[in-house]
Amino acid sequence: MDYHSLIKRWTALPAQDLLDEIFTSYGTRAALGTSFQKTGLVAIDLLSRHRQDFRVFTIDTGRLFPETHAYMQAISERYRLALEVFSSDANDVADLLATSPYGEYLFLESAALRQECCYVRKVLPRNKALRTLDVWLTGVRKDQSSFRGTLRKVEVIEFEGRPILKVMPLFDWTQEQIDDYIRKRDLPVHPLYAKGFATIGCQAPCTTPSLPGEAPRNGRWRWEKSGLKECSLHLDKFDDGAGI
Per the structure, how many domains does the chain have? 1
Active-site residue flag, 231: yes
Question: Helices 15-26 and 3-12 meet at what angle, rounded to 10?
Answer: 140
3-state secondary structure of 223: coil
Is 158 contained in some domain?
yes
pLDDT at site 109: 92
Is 193 contained in some domain?
yes
Beta bridge mates, 207: 220
Is 25 contained in some domain?
yes
pLDDT at site 233: 62
pLDDT at site 1: 83
Q: Does 236 carry a binding-site annotation? A: no
Q: Does 202 carry a binding-site annotation? A: yes
pLDDT at site 150: 74
- Residue 105 burial (CB count, 10 A): 14
pLDDT at site 213: 85
Task: Report the CATH number at residue 139.
Answer: 3.40.50.620
Q: Does 127 carry a binding-site annotation? A: no
Catalytically annotated residue among 231, 233, 242, 244: 231
pLDDT at site 133: 98
pLDDT at site 237: 43
Is 22 contained in some domain?
yes
Is 211 contained in some domain?
yes
pLDDT at site 14: 96
Please give the single-letter amino acid code of residue 200. I
3-state secondary structure of 59: strand
Is 122 contained in some domain?
yes
- Rounded CA-CA distance 124/33 in Å is 14
Is 225 contained in some domain?
no
What does the DSSP assignment read for 2-24?
-HHHHHHHHHHS-HHHHHHHHHH
Q: In what order do the strands lie in the sheet with 84-87?
A: 84-87, 55-60, 30-33, 135-137, 162-167, 154-159
Is 234 contained in some domain?
no
Range of the structural domain that residue 80 is part of: 3-219
Ranges assigned E (strand) in 23-161:
30-33, 55-60, 84-87, 135-137, 154-159
pLDDT at site 108: 93
Q: Does 108 carry a binding-site annotation? A: no
Q: What is the pLDDT along the chain (244 residues), one digit of tens a residue?
A: 899 999 999 999 999 999 999 999 999 999 999 999 999 999 999 999 999 889 999 999 999 999 999 999 999 999 999 999 999 999 999 999 999 999 999 999 998 899 999 999 999 999 999 999 999 999 989 887 677 667 899 999 999 999 999 999 999 999 999 999 999 999 999 999 999 999 999 999 999 999 888 888 888 899 987 666 556 565 444 232 222 2
Question: pLDDT tens for residues 115-153?
Answer: 999 999 999 999 999 999 999 999 989 887 677 667 899
